[in-house]
Structure 1
Amino acid sequence: MKSLNIVGGGRLGKVLGRLAVLSGAYHVTAVLCREAAHAREAAAFVGAPRALTRLAELPAADLTLLAVPDGAIAVVAAALAEARVLPAGSVVFHASGALDSVQLAPLAAQGALTASLHPAFSFAEPERALETFGGTLCALEGDGDACGQLAMLVQAIAGEPFYLKPGGKVGYHAALSIASNYLVTLLSLAQGVVAAAGVDDATARRLLGALMTQTLGNALALGPAQALTGPIGRGDAGTVAQHLTVLEPDDGALYRALGLATVKLAGERLDAGQQAALLALLGNGE
């Protein structure tokens, strides 16, 4: 059975720690937080025997998770290196979606195997997260041996590991932001436009929600290019011009930017004349 330290007692640290314990393949040696009460609560949730507040007290372990905010990862890594409590050859990892294992460089310099493990999952409610984590995709990046050990951890807690290439963490996180955050932005844009057409909010949610859900399903099943429908996909510059007449300036600018990307996605289904008309209308080169 492998040992695991957890530095930081937030939702992610608690859930990953508890899942590791429940797997039967790991035991959590200690949970460390800045405040004693927080450390005790997190240790109780995880099932760890020790609740600590000082890095110098952290016991040796096979793996150490830095489950702290992104801005604190490098600071905590440097403090751990200064404390010299982690043995060479042990795995130290963080769970940031945006930052890579370079944040742990001071520990790597002391012989630790460093990596990052990011579950594409919301840890909003820990108890629910314990029940629904199974099947979660988890991105691994960093030292090869460390990633191999973290892949075993992910599999033990019923997740699915996959690997990022060196330097790929920023692109990975940008993709998640586009797929998640910008989908919400698009819904907000569409709701505003349809409200101006006289559709009430409740109907708009049903109307747009059903269409967006169906379209996403088609895109995932068929691929984006094949799932593309609508005026740009069929080269209908006249309808696109009509759309632009009812949009506010900021909304129109976003429509044009997305339209240019959609022309590119439509590709060879558009003939040269259709492409030229759409690109001129959407402001290519302006």
Structure 2
Amino acid sequence: MDDKKRVCISFIGAGKAGVSLGAYFRSKGLEISGYLSRSRKSAISAAELTSSKAFTALSDLAAASDIIIVSTPDGAIAEVWEELRKCDIRDRIVCHLSGSLSSDIFDGIAAKSSFGYSVHPMFAFSGKDGYFEGVEKACFTLEGAKEKLGEVREIFMRTGNRIFVIDKSKKALYHASNVMVSNLVTALLSIGTESFEKCGVKKEEAIEALLPLIRGNIENIAKKGFPGSLTGPVERNDTDTIMKHLDVMEEDERLIYSLLTKKLAKLSKVKHPGRDQSKLLELLEKNL
């Protein structure tokens, strides 16, 4: 991407990701041509936040853009592409922001002399008010046509974000990894909070009390890695305590607890390679 050439980026979809990224890109000196959305109100709002244009026709958006980012929900990407491919998009870079879908969703894009990519931000956007704090620390994963991959990478060289280029065949596994460390952690924290509530603590107080423990664990992982951050009964090989935990849990909770404890035992083995975990593992297998 030549610095002397003005590269215009447009967004189809004016939701949280599209608006936040547009505002972020603009703050880094990138040119935003505008937005098109099913909601005219949303497109106008996004355009105002990014000093760009609210388009009403795909053909106009395509004509004004070098890079077109489809920032709709995953289920709408194929539908948007079917309409976009009817436009003159020769030599355009077309991206989507899905974590689970690959660039293959842009079926037939090579025949349009265009280039398709998936560009996934490893970040949870909280609103569509143009607030993008924290995005500068986020990583992005890319995959797609080799021809203009360098130009897509150049966007993030300008913003300063770290990027990973992955194979399209790994998209589902990649997205599962993201879900496991974000959405599924939310579910696990919810289970833990509910258990604390059963001890007679109000929900709001339970969350507030547990947050320092949660934050401390994340900080320890960042500093020491997984084995080095281990504490608790698994790290001590305390089978008796783990048995007491399992005895007071519902069936589903016992299964989750046992599966995760089995994984923790493997991490603990790295830290304590000579330790005998046979009693612990036998207990866990009985609850799987």
What TM-score do the two structures reach when normalised by structure 1? 0.86
For 1:230, which of 221, 232, 240 is the aligned residue? 232
Aligned to 1:40: 44
- Which whole-Å CA distance do the structure 2 matches of 1:25 and 1:226 have between them? 41
Equivalences, count = 281
- Which whole-Å CA distance do the structure 1 matches of 2:201 and 2:127 have between them? 35
Letter of the 1:24 partner, please give it: G
Aligned to 1:165: 167
Aligned to 1:10: 15
For 1:58, which of 57, 61, 78 is the aligned residue? 61
For residues 240-259 of structure 1, the aligned pairs below 5 Å read: 240-259=242-261
For 1:92, which of 83, 94, 119 is the aligned residue? 94
Higher relative contact order (CA 8 A, sep 6+): 2
Pair 246,166 (structure 1): closer, same or farther in 2 beyond 3 Å: same
- Which segment drifts farther, 121-130 or 259-268? 121-130
CA offset at residue 37 of structure 1? 4.0
Q: CA RMSD in A?
A: 2.5
Q: Kindly indicate whether the alpha-carbon contact (under 8 Å) linking 1:231 and 1:239 is maintained by their aligned counterparts in 2.
A: yes
Q: Kindly indicate whether the alpha-carbon contact (under 8 Å) linking 1:233 and 1:270 is maintained by their aligned counterparts in 2.
A: no
Pair 52,248 (structure 1): closer, same or farther in 2 beyond 3 Å: same
Whether 2:29 is the aligned partner of 1:24: answer yes
Letter of the 1:189 partner, please give it: I
Q: Kindly indicate whether the alpha-carbon contact (under 8 Å) linking 1:100 and 1:169 is maintained by their aligned counterparts in 2.
A: yes
Pair 111,256 (structure 1): closer, same or farther in 2 beyond 3 Å: same
- Which whole-Å CA distance do the structure 1 matches of 2:37 and 2:213 have between them? 45
- Which whole-Å CA distance do the structure 2 matches of 1:203 and 1:25 have between them? 44
Pair 18,184 (structure 1): closer, same or farther in 2 beyond 3 Å: closer
Letter of the 1:143 partner, please give it: A
SS at match of 2:82: helix
Structure 2: segments with no counterpart, 5+ residues: 1-5
Letter of the 1:66 partner, please give it: V
CA offset at residue 276 of structure 1? 1.7
- Which whole-Å CA distance do the structure 2 matches of 1:37 and 1:281 have between them? 58
Aligned to 1:187: 189
What TM-score do the two structures reach when normalised by structure 2? 0.86
Aligned to 1:123: 125
- Which whole-Å CA distance do the structure 2 matches of 1:180 and 1:220 have between them? 16
Percent identity between matched residues is 29
Pair 71,221 (structure 1): closer, same or farther in 2 beyond 3 Å: same
